[in-house]
A and B are shown apart, each in its own frame.
Chain A
Amino acid sequence: MALTRYAVKRLLGILPLLFLLSLLSFSIIHLAPGSPASTLLGEKAFDPAAVQALEERLGLDQPLPLQYLSWLSRVLSGDLGQSIGLKPGYPVIQLLGERVFPTLALSVSSLLLALLIAVPLGVTSALKPHSFFDRFFSFLAFAEFSLPNFWLAMMLILVFSVSLNWLPSSGMADPRLASFSWPDFFAHLLLPMVVLALGEAAALTRYVRGSMLEVLQQEFIRTAKAKGLPSHVVFYKHALRNALLPLLTLLGYSIPGLLSGAVLTETVFGWPGMGRLAVNAVFSRDYPVLMAEVLLFGFLTLIGNLVADILYACADPRIRYEQP
């Protein structure tokens, strides 16, 4: 079937990129000043016995390609090494694991909120181009592009947390609470989610508007009107469906931007996610954690693109049912 062929083709296309990504990650520890062994051992680097033990365990005395293979096999079996700066000795994979849910929760919820804002705004703008509504929100979106999101975050904290005291200003949960509570979680999630969502919504609105306007110029809209279909049918069933189709791909490709934006927002809000972990790792020169983060970010980006492309192929019959 055309769809499976397409999916397989895309998957195969990703493999060289995954390979490059792994090379990139692998090279980090070797680019760091000093030998990998001394970097990983930290204080014990002056103990020759410890150095030798480590070298044997990780095969650091072997030629690079072999080292790469043994590293790769460790990674694929889940061993991402141990943290050296942030939490010495702690397995990196566990460290990452604790941070995945917060970042995921933040990213997904902000994306949903962004869609909720962008689609109605974009569609309404396209219905009456160059009207006051359209120009006002286009201007707002434009201004939002220029707004540094970490500053916006701080201003929101100033208003909602400091002045009005409605919402907490940092962290993911109130430390005074004994166990996890959903309302508390959402109270903490709200501000960071809004900050991220506003940023994404700005780009999405312009995109939806443009896509909608383009679709409305197409011939088949004229046919639909010529059939005497009511305006709402023409608009929603014919125009909107076609206009939102490319949005799927756009969402997938916005994942790297989402993750990058999350780094700054997580820092402002003290949100315990992967972004903040990466920043802390840089400060502590915790290379194993950095390597794992690079792998994870890159992997998520590639997978995101892949899933977006496949979803699009599913949704667009022109690709799903290719001409024989």
Chain B
Amino acid sequence: MKQVPLLSVKGLSVEFPGLPLQAVRRVSFDVHENECMGLVGESGSGKTVTALAILGLLDPSARITSGEIFFAGEDLRTLPETRRQKIRGHQLAMVFQEPLTAFNPVLSVGEQLSEPLLYHRGLSPWEARQEVLSLLEAVHMPRPRQVFQAFPHQLSGGMRQKAMIAMALSCKPKLLIADEPTSALDVTVQAEILSLLASLRRQFDLSVLFISHDLGIVSRHCSRVAVLRQGEIVEQGKTQTVFSKPRHPYTRALLEAVLR
């Protein structure tokens, strides 16, 4: 019995004015509950555009020319913006690649982490603060109280990414989209963040859409994977199957490049 997938993208196409080729072309994939799905491809393949399209955060000049995006039964494309705002950060969250620029430099870390709690769950500032501190502990952040008062530029790269993860998980979302969460970090910190994500997934019953160009990471952490090339999905399926017996020549080429 196949359960209804948590996220179902069907035939999504996105184009930008002035560019001849569509950035995303008829992309379809599903993410089920409690699974980690990988979205791999080289830079420019449309991974981030897909993620932003799901969240409804595309640049105003971009146009979604076709497709449906079902999340927990609702087509995100047809929803009014107010409803989408309620879903974002609450049931559907995103973690970005470069944590330094993803944070507002003039507001404290604590204040930014509290915001989803204040607006989605209606907590008071004091309650939010307690919740944020426990979240920081959950992501193994050293000195949570100091971090709460600090500003983004005062934290190290790894700490910032942990903070961003904490912020994304604050309202206990069902799906977390992680767009190259470790690409900007040192290798040692990468491992820490990845294991953190894995344990949080189990702890919070979370699904993750893991976007990356690093096949190694995806093969280790994701149960299913979709391969993107120039906006099209060329292959998708169980990670083990796709990586051990790739059917599409592009997938093969990607794997060969990694192995070399």
Contacts and interface: CB of A to CB of B under 8 A. Distances in A.
Interface of A: 218-220, 222-231, 233, 237-238, 241-242, 245, 315-318, 321, 323
A218 B96 CA distance: 13
Given A233-B119, A241-B106, A226 B85 contact: no
Given A321-B154, A323-B153, A230 B85 contact: yes
A229 B116 CA distance: 7
Contacts of B116: 227-229
A223 B107 CA distance: 13
Q: Give the size category of B's interface with A.
A: 20 to 34
Of listed A238, A242, A317, residue having the most chain B CB within 10 A: A317
A318 B96 contact: no
Contact of A222 (B57, B93, B120, B154): B57
Nearest to A221: B104
A293 to B, nearest CB: 39
Contact of B96 (A223, A245, A315, A316): A223
B128 to A, nearest CB: 13
Nearest to B156: A323
Interface in B137-160: 150-151, 153-154
B89 A318 contact: no
A226 B88 contact: yes
Contact of A226 (B81, B89, B151): B89
Contacts of B55: 226
A218 B89 CA distance: 19
Interface of A is mostly: helix
Given A226-B57, A226-B93, A317-B151, A220 B115 contact: no
Interface string B81-110: 100111111100110101001111111100
Contacts of B120: 228
Contacts of B150: 321
Contacts of A323: 153-154
A228 B89 contact: yes
B146 to A, nearest CB: 12
A220 B88 contact: no
Contacts of A223: 96, 102-104, 164
Contact of B103 (A220, A230, A233): A220
Contacts of B14: none
Going nearest first, the 3 A-B pairs with the smallest beta carbon separation are A228-B89, A228-B88, A227-B89
B86 A218 contact: no
B167 interface: yes
Contacts of B93: 226-227
Interface in B154-193: 154, 164, 167
Nearest to B88: A228
A245 B88 CA distance: 28
24 contacts: A219-B96, A219-B102, A223-B103, A223-B104, A225-B88, A226-B93, A227-B88, A227-B119, A228-B87, A228-B88, A228-B119, A229-B85, A229-B116, A229-B119, A231-B85, A238-B107, A242-B105, A242-B106, A317-B106, A317-B108, A317-B153, A318-B106, A318-B153, A321-B153
